[in-house]
Structures are given as C-alpha cells and as structure tokens.
Amino acid sequence: MEYPYYPGCTLKTTGKKDEEAALEVAKLLEFELKELPTWTCCGVVYNLTSDVMADHLSATRTLIRAQEMGRELKTNKLVTLCSMCYNVLKQVNLMYKKNPDKLNNINLFMDTEEDYLGNVEIMHFLEVLYKDIGLEKIKEKVKTPLTNLKVDPYYGCMLLRPKNIAFDDQDAPHVMGDILSALGAKVIENPMTVECCGAHQIITNKEAVLDCVQRIVKTSQSKGADVIVTPCPLCQYNLTTGQKSLFEKGKINHQTPVIYLSELLIISLSDNNENYLKDYKFIKDKLEERGG
Amino acid sequence: MVFTVSEKGLELRKNVEEISGQNIFQCYQCGKCSATCPVVDSMDMAPNKIIRFVQMGDLEVLDQNTFWVCAACFTCSARCPRSVDIAKIMEALRNVMLRNKQDFINIYSKEFIEKMIEEIPQMAIVAAIKKGVW
Amino acid sequence: MLAEKNQIPLVSVFIMGKEYKVPSGLTLMKAMEYAGYRYTRGAGCRAGFCGACATIYRLKDDYKLKSALACQTTVDDGMYLVQLPFTPANKKKYDMEKLNIAHNALLKEYPEIARCISCNSCTKVCPQELKVMDYVQASLRGDIEKAAILSFDCVQCGLCAFRCPAEITQYHVGQLARRLNGKFVAPKAIHTEEAVAKLNNGVSKKEISKLKILKLAEIKDLYKKRVTE
C-alpha cells in the first residue's frame, strides 16, 4: 500500500535520521511512504486566534497536494512522521469541517490552486503501524527481539492534545508501548509520558525547558529506563541537550539516551542493523548483557 | 467594595475574548491550569491569575512574561473543568501585544542569530518566530 | 500627428492617474516616453534582463493588480500604471569565503524566511513567472540546489519583496542561494580551470607576441587562410 507522505522541514534537516529509518521500516513492513511532489512548511504551531486565516495557508496547500496525490494513489490518507506537522494539519482539517465558510474563504483566496474539499485523512506514522499494519505483522517481522531492554515511550504534547486530534488515550496512551512490546522490549510506565518538553522555549527561555526535561527524565530514570523513545524531533533534541545541561549543572547524575522510535524499529526489524547498533552501542550491550 | 473597570481594561477584555473566542467569565479560578502547566515555574504570574486579571480588566497583565513563556502544549485546556481553552487565551494575549507593534523577538539580534545553530530543529525556530513576531 | 498618418490605432493609458493617448503596440516604457516622460530612474537594459523597470498596472474594469517589466509589456486600452524604480530592501553583507552549505545556511543570513506563510503573493506578482514561493520554501529547508535552479531567471525587480506579508526579500535570498550553489554544489568547470591555468603559464605567449608585430595586411591574410571546422 502506498501512502502520500508529508515530511515537513525538520525531517529534511536535523531530523534526517528519523526519516531515513522510517522509510526503511515501511519497506520492511511492506508499505511505502511516497513523498508529496512539492510541499511547503506546515506553519508549525497551529494558530489559535479566531480571526487570522493567513497562517493556515501553508497547511491548506499541503492538504491540497495530498488531495491531488490521493487521486493518483486512490487513497485519501496523508501520513506524517513529525508530531508537530501532524498536530497542525489535523487541527486545520478539523477547523474546516467545523467552519465550512472559512474553507470557502480560503479556497476563494487561493485562486491558483484547486479547491480543498476537506476530505483528507491525516495519520501519524504510529497510527499506520498500529491500525493499518497491526501488531501481529510487526511481531512476525522481528529479527532481533529487544528482550529485556527497558524502554520508556515518551509521547510529548502534540500527538494527543487537544482531544479532537488525539489518536490514543490522552492520559494513559498505549499505542507506542504496544508496538514496543511487540518488538520484545519491556515497556516502562512513566506518568510523565505526555508532559511537554518545553518545545520552542528552547530558543527563548531555556530554563523552562530544563525544568520540564528534569521532571520527565528523573521519573524515567527512577523507573529504570535504559532508553527514552520518542517520535518527535524537537522532543528528542530538547531531552538530549536538556540532559546535557542538567548533567553539567549536577542536577542529574546520568544521561538517558533518547532515540527515535523509527530507529529502534530498524534495530529490531532489519537484517542490516549494524550501523544503528554501532551508533547506539548501549542497546547492543544491554541486549547481549541480558541474553537478548 | 465597588470595583470599576477602566475604559482600556474593558477594551482589553473585549479584545481577548474576541481573538480567543472564549468566555473569560467561564473560569471559576480552580487553579487546575496553573497546577498542570509544565513551565509555570518560569512564569511571573500563574495562568489562572492571568485570567483573573483579564476578568478584572487590569492592564498589568500585559507586563507579565507568562504568555511569552507559554509553550502552547494545550495541557491547561485539556484539564480545565469548565472547558475554557486557556491556550487560546494565552495566544490572544500574545496577539494583543504583537498587534500593538511590540514584537517579543528581534530576529536580527545577535542573541537570536546565535541560536540558529545547526542542531536546532527547524520547527523550534519557526514556532518561536510565529509566536514572537507580528 | 505621425501616428494618425500611418493609421496606428491609439489607446488610452493612465500614467500615475493622468490620461494619455499612445499608439498601440508600444511597450509601456516607449509609451511613457511618447507621452513626454523622460526616464532618469527605472530604466536600464530595455531588454527584459536588468529588472529596473518594474511596473504595477491594472486593466479597466478589473480589480486585480498585475505586474510587468515596462520594456517588455505592450500597452492595453484603459491601463492604469505606476512604476517602482527601487526597492529599499535589506541586503545582508556576507563573505562568501566564510559561508558553508549547512541546511540552515540561508536561514542564518535571512532568518525572516521562517515567516513565510505560503500565501503565494510573490509567485503571483513575478513578471518572469518564476515559482518564487517554491524557492523560498526550498531555502527554508536548506535545499540550496532547488532554490538556485528555480530562481535562475530572476531579474531582481523587487516586486516580490513589496507584496510579501512576511517582509522577506525573496530575490536576495535567491541570489545567495545561487552563489552558494555555484560555489559549493554545482560541479566545477575543471576544463575551464585547466585552460585558464595553461594561459597563465604562458602557453599562448609566443603566438600572441608573433601576431603583435604583424602588419594589418598580413593579419588579414592569416585570417583568410585560417583553418575552420
């Protein structure tokens, strides 16, 4: 099955590793993510004002591109890897469903594009794995079971809030944990799994981010996690650099590695996972140490 | 005690309600938003107090750093028992300042350009600019 | 009038609000000169290459503002026009030797490109019909090659910067993209480099010295007898 795929700016720049791994995972699980032929930045945080429409333009253009490609591939789905892009696109889509006059307005303005009809279904990569592929298939394809590797699935905020875009339970989500269990890993329950990492405050107010990271990581470490797994590139960056600063300030006594979900999937599902195991030697060590 | 809201205070309240689409008086000050906010420790004034100030039309609310520190994580809105979308109110307060030509970030300042280091994810840069520049 | 004698039809154009009758078929630039205006700014190569003559116009009974290069577009009856000889745009001073080609290379020099909301106003106003929004988005993403290729025919007229709600100067961003592309991405012209090195080493010195002392008749003779492919 071929899905129209929207990468977003970050996955083409600092988050390249996530995209490479995810495209490989798709191949292993027998589906394909086809990138939209042209696309624009999603506009990052969804504009929460009731009057400004201009900030929704980028997302609307992406939805029109998905609509066009969807006709070719005979699907109305659009898959994203980045949590922020998922959040923006889905909120914009829902806003148009609730306000057809706003959709009309935007279609009128974008006179060089076809009209957006409002029918694209946005899915996050996790949803595709859970709903379309299924845990059974993932289990079948495991080559290196992550036996006894203690993983902490960290969602962050953008995948599950606000409620109307959440594809999993808002307070006790289980989709990522279920997928990681299917890979054989031992999933840790961290009550901070949906706590915000501080997001863009890393630029304007680093202290706020350090507070958040400390909260998340301390709980994770107290539960014995070997690695924190996240789908969002900004969370991965904040948690990694945040821990470095906290460690230098003596606020935490060791740094838990933070890895993309797609990379962990490759380690488990692929025959050629040597490069990844080289990058993440600690995983290889833990698996060997615990007889995995 | 009789309390009169100033002309400007009324205007502020009206602006915030219009831009956010929220009924500011729906809040009954339970404090759940402040309790759950992940960055509240860096804020001058807690979110629920901000809403109280807007209800009272107190212009001092615009001098606080609260809505600039807000990470737009939507946790407050998810927890509010009165379904007030506090994230939208914070966005409205940011917009009241920005539309008054008071940008929070100067993207040509040395501090900002230094942050454009290679490792910072693009989404953080665009988000910071979207929230801090009109 | 000369125009009437040769029976070229006249059309009405409104230059900064004042009506003039000019022969149809003239370019906007020639029409303005026919009407008596003398260009001291906003004219350059007169061949559609330098971008000096950016013009905004509107046709009768239409609400849309359109753009053109005055030396390339011909007059239409009922055209309202104004010229924009200069864009006071921001141009960063950078040292090409100090730049590199990281994905945020363009974002670092022009951080305002992160404000792009994909409204497409720049593409709509471009008189060269370039995909301006696409090359700004490519720059945002660090795709320098794509930005350079899409912005190749830009004549730097400045109309895009005027229309942009995010106050980006698209044409300066495109110029930096092309420079970075040329320096770091595009394949090097090795044969040119080798040929230039040979010249600097004096491979043609002897022949040129011989030619310099010949008389005109001898040179003409040599020229007639040259071997051609």
Q: Which fold has domain C2-83?
A: Ubiquitin-like (UB roll) (3.10.20)
Using an 8 Å CB-CB cutoff, list chain A residues near C137: 39-41
pLDDT tens digits for range A230-258: 999 999 999 999 999 999 999 999 999 99
Kindly report the CATH number that applies to the domain delimited by C96-185: 1.10.1060.10
Nearest CB to B42 within list A49, A199, A207:
A207
Q: What is the Cα A21 distance to its own chain's centre?
A: 12
Q: How far apart are CA A15 and CA A25, in angstroms?
A: 16
- The mean pLDDT value for A122-144 works out to 93
Q: Measure in Å the smallest separation between the Cα of C168 and chain A Cα atoms.
A: 15
CATH 1.10.1060.10, chain C: domain bounds: 96-185
- Judge: C103–A110 Cβ closer than 8 Å, yes or no: no
- The mean pLDDT value for A9-14 works out to 90
At A94, list the tokens: 């829902």
Give yes or no for residue C2 having a pLDDT over 80: no
Q: Measure in Å the smallest separation between the Cα of C110 and chain A Cα atoms.
A: 16
The pLDDT score that the predictor gives to residue C27 is 94
Q: How far apart are CA C140 and CA C153, in angstroms?
A: 20
Q: Measure in Å the smallest separation between the Cα of A186 and chain B Cα atoms.
A: 27
Query: So what's the ipTM on this one?
Result: 0.90
C-beta separation of C155 from C125 below 8 A: no
The pLDDT score that the predictor gives to residue A292 is 46
At C141, list the tokens: 């993403």
pLDDT tens digits for range C7-63: 889 999 999 889 999 999 999 999 999 999 999 888 999 999 999 999 999 998 888
C-beta separation of A43 from B129 below 8 A: no
Strand order in the sheet with C10-15: C18-23, C10-15, C79-83, C54-58, C66-69
Long-range Cβ contact pairs of A90-99 (< 8 A, separation 24 or more): A90/A122, A90/A165, A91/A46, A91/A162, A91/A164, A91/A165, A92/A46, A92/A56, A92/A59, A92/A60, A92/A63, A93/A63, A93/A118, A93/A120, A93/A122, A94/A164, A94/A165, A95/A56
The pLDDT score that the predictor gives to residue C5 is 63
- Judge: A202–B120 Cβ closer than 8 Å, yes or no: yes
Using an 8 Å CB-CB cutoff, list chain B residues near A10: 121-123
Counting as contact any 3 or more CB pairs under 8 A, the partners of C are A, B
CATH 3.10.20.30, chain C: domain bounds: 2-83
- Judge: C104–B113 Cβ closer than 8 Å, yes or no: no
SS3 A184: coil
- The mean pLDDT value for B39-68 works out to 94
pLDDT tens digits for range A58-70: 999 999 999 999 9
SS3 C86: coil
At A232, list the tokens: 């969002």
pLDDT tens digits for range A150-203: 999 999 999 999 999 999 999 889 999 999 999 999 999 999 999 999 989 998
pLDDT tens digits for range A17-47: 899 999 999 999 999 999 999 999 998 889 9
Q: Model pTM? A: 0.87
Residues belonging to chain A with any Cβ–Cβ distance to chain B shorter than 8 Å: 8-10, 13-15, 41, 43-45, 47-51, 55, 82, 84, 157, 161-163, 170, 194-196, 198-205, 207-208, 211-212, 215, 233-234, 237, 241
Q: Nearest chain B Cα to C105, which residue?
A: B118
At C64, list the tokens: 């849309």
Using an 8 Å CB-CB cutoff, list chain A residues near B22: none
pLDDT band for position A277 (50/70/90)? confident
Q: Measure in Å the smallest separation between the Cα of A137 and chain B Cα atoms.
A: 33
At B56, list the tokens: 């009272």
Give yes or no for residue A111 having a pLDDT over 70: yes
- Judge: A110–C118 Cβ closer than 8 Å, yes or no: no
Nearest CB to A13 within list C103, C116, C137:
C103
- Judge: A201–B69 Cβ closer than 8 Å, yes or no: yes
pLDDT tens digits for range B79-132: 999 999 999 999 999 999 999 888 888 888 888 887 777 778 889 989 998 888
The pLDDT score that the predictor gives to residue A104 is 93
- Residue spans of alpha helices (H) in chain C: 2-5, 28-34, 105-109, 121-125, 132-140, 144-150, 159-163, 170-180, 190-200, 205-212, 216-224
Which of C94, C104, C136, C141 should be substituted to probe chain B, the one whose Cβ sees the most B Cβ atoms within 10 Å?
C104
